[in-house]
Amino acid sequence: EKAQAQQATRFAFTPIPAATDSVVHVPEGYSWQRLVSWGDPLFSGIDAFDSAIGGAAADSDKVFGENTDGMELFVIGGKQVIAVNHEYTNRKTNLPQTADGVPRDGQDVLKLQNLQGIAVFEIVENDTGWTVVLDSPFNRRITQNTPMQFSGPATGHDLLKTAADADGVESLGTFNNCGSGKTPWGTYLTCEENFNGYFGATEEPELTEQIADGYKRYGISTEGWGYDYHKWDPRFDTSKNPNEPHRAGWIVEIDPSNPKSTPVKRTALGRFKHENAETVLAPDGRVVVYMGDDERGEFLYKFVSKDAYAPGADTSTLLDEGQLYVARFHDDMTGEWVSLTPDTTGMSEAEIAIFSRIAASKVGATTMDRPEWVAVNPISVEAYCALTNNSRRGVKPNAGGDWTPVAGPNPREANKYGQIVRWRPSGDDHASETFEWDLYVMAGNPTVHEGDYAGSANINEGNLFNSPDGMAIDSTGLIWIQTDGDDSDEGDFAGNGNNQMLAGDPVTGRIERFLTGPKGAEVTGLCWSADRRTMFVGVQHPDAPFPDGEGRLPRSSIIAIKRDDNLPVG
Ligand code: FEO
Ligand code: CA
Ligand code: CA
């Protein structure tokens, strides 16, 4: 009876069906409103968003940016402040005056650079719902040009030095900020993911062998991904600044309580395509940061600080000294965290930080199916990582050139659906160097497949999804799973509908659908109001007509979800 009651509270909602339309659906008894969308002002004196021009270029560093992603809520002096990432830009949407989203000049590039980075802003709930507090002293935009400091082992290394920063100690801007994290001392961690795409070359760069090897492993090309920054801003031209790409791919710590603070790039946490940074304290107070590298066949990492966190004590160097590890999973359901040190890799501390992928390959880390968000269970000593999919698993080498065998927590060839791996550290200590693992879920489609591609036993016709990505575990231990996958609703994905958010019970494995996003969007980013009566969810890159209707540009948005009876959500 007690178990039944608990089960009832675990899922305090009626699961909803898949959807293929252009609106957001939540369960009966819940409702949602829009909090903020791309182009909405954070300060007064700025024009409202003009869909005809994709927002004024001149105001692009004073508005809510594009592609809302990871976010965290902070309570600062009784005020509620959200810090949120603006992952990348949708050039055709953001530059509607151009024929195909190709920047025409440096001004177009600057607009794109301004619409990315981070927004920090105060919010308040009043009679009509949640709103952004214009001109709050906490409001701030951090862009791809905001000055930042380096700290940790790579600081001042030759590979970080450029013409503009001969000492290799400070850089400009933050790039492709994907997932997030929150430290026990109230700072925001933003994670630089696909930074490689912003760099290109106007002529063939002359590179040392070490730098060329790094470019290959991290995907730095002469063409870039179409942003064309290098054609207008020489900082991004690797034939002029070959070390500039080494200054991106980091985790950046931001103090949301001080809008004048300089963001710090924490090089001890390694350089790769960072998804998020899930932070938890070990029993002895040391800080453990779990981190995925979202690329086919790349790795899962963790950092353990040397010193313990003590409330009120200086935290300014806690993330600078410690040990970076990479995960090795064994087929017998055990695993180990292998330390990346000069002894284990033959590389210097600075090189391990700058070329973490190369260091991790040297110790035989397990190639994963694109590690996305890691989430730690606050009521049980365990952690989860969403492995979103891997079209190359077992059929082609990964991007770094390594073969990715079908094994361990990556059990399916050409994995279209993704899975969530869970591990329990030995001794109930997240700082432990060993663990036991299992798969919490293998997504799949039992309506079109039998066997492995049907998914695990907790997948059924009523909760189909693919490509788990964002993840957070609430204070009751419920796992919230957000998806960024194929929303064609056809073939292998028939019945999946649009991207969505589901809730999972870690104990029973039961998973139910809570939200469906609008067509085209991924659902990413999740945090709660201080009283937990509101859940904030990100809707990234929707197709039109979301949210403003036909004939308007689509706009990434944060929505606020409440229960109609105003009880806590989750
Ligand atoms: Fe930016 Fe791996 O998602
Ligand atoms: Ca993601
Ligand atoms: Ca993804």
Is the CB of residue 87 below 6 angstroms from any atom belonging to ligand 1? yes
Is the CB of residue 275 below 6 angstroms from any atom belonging to ligand 1? yes
Q: Does residue 12 fall inside a structural domain?
A: no
Helical H segments across 514-562, by residue range: none
Q: Considering every ligand atom shown, identify the ligand nearest to the alpha carbon of residue 390 and give its number.
A: 3
- Distance (Å) from CA 339 to ligand 3 centroid: 27
Which atom of ligand 1 has the smallest separation from the CA of 178? 1
DSSP reduced 3-state for 300: strand
- Distance (Å) from CA 561 to ligand 3 centroid: 23
Is the CB of residue 178 below 6 angstroms from any atom belonging to ligand 1? yes
Cα atoms found within 13 Å of the Cα of residue 14, Cβ hemisphere only: 5
Q: Considering every ligand atom shown, identify the ligand nearest to the alpha carbon of residue 499 and give its number.
A: 3
Phi, psi dihedral angles at 207 (to 5 degrees): -120, 145
- Distance (Å) from CA 409 to ligand 1 centroid: 20
DSSP reduced 3-state for 3: helix
- Distance (Å) from CA 484 to ligand 3 centroid: 5
- Distance (Å) from CA 387 to ligand 1 centroid: 11
- Distance (Å) from CA 534 to ligand 3 centroid: 25
Contact present, 118 and 84 (Cβ < 8 Å): yes
Is the CB of residue 522 below 6 angstroms from any atom belonging to ligand 1? no
Is the CB of residue 293 below 6 angstroms from any atom belonging to ligand 1? no
Q: Does residue 363 fall inside a structural domain?
A: no
Beta bridge partners of 501: 482, 515
- Distance (Å) from CA 442 to ligand 2 centroid: 18
- The Cα–Cα gap between 208 and 356 comes to 18
Residues of the chain with confidence (pLDDT) below 50: 1, 5-6
Q: Considering every ligand atom shown, identify the ligand nearest to the alpha carbon of residue 87 and give its number.
A: 1
- pLDDT tens digits for range 109-135: 999 999 999 999 999 999 999 999 999
Is the CB of residue 372 below 6 angstroms from any atom belonging to ligand 1? yes
Q: Does residue 226 fall inside a structural domain?
A: yes
Q: Does residue 220 fall inside a structural domain?
A: yes
Which atom of ligand 1 has the smallest separation from the CA of 69? 1
| E-assigned strand segments in 186-332 | 188-192, 251-254, 264-266, 278-281, 286-292, 300-308, 322-329
Q: Considering every ligand atom shown, identify the ligand nearest to the alpha carbon of residue 292 and give its number.
A: 1
DSSP reduced 3-state for 447: coil
Is the CB of residue 193 below 6 angstroms from any atom belonging to ligand 1? yes
CA 180 to chain centre: 6
Q: Does residue 148 fall inside a structural domain?
A: no
- Distance (Å) from CA 272 to ligand 3 centroid: 15
- Distance (Å) from CA 569 to ligand 3 centroid: 25
Which atom of ligand 1 has the smallest separation from the CA of 194? 1
Q: What's the domain count of the chain?
A: 1
As a whole number, the mean pLDDT across the chain is 97
- The Cα–Cα gap between 324 and 473 comes to 24
Q: What's the pLDDT at 570?
A: 84
Q: What's the pLDDT at 398?
A: 86
- The Cα–Cα gap between 108 and 231 comes to 12
Q: Does residue 239 fall inside a structural domain?
A: yes
Q: Considering every ligand atom shown, identify the ligand nearest to the alpha carbon of residue 178 and give its number.
A: 1
Looking up tokens 């419920």, which residue turns up? 478
CA 188 to chain centre: 13
- Residue span of the structural domain in which 238 resides: 194-248
Q: Considering every ligand atom shown, identify the ligand nearest to the alpha carbon of residue 294 and give its number.
A: 1
Q: Does residue 229 fall inside a structural domain?
A: yes
Q: What's the pLDDT at 10?
A: 84
Q: Does residue 276 fall inside a structural domain?
A: no
Residue with CA at minimum distance from ligand 1 atom 1: 178
- Distance (Å) from CA 179 to ligand 1 centroid: 7
Tokens encoding 44:
């007064």
Q: What's the pLDDT at 3?
A: 52
Which atom of ligand 1 has the smallest separation from the CA of 370? 2
CB atoms within 10 A of CB 311: 8
Tokens encoding 511:
């998973």
Which atom of ligand 1 has the smallest separation from the CA of 193? 1
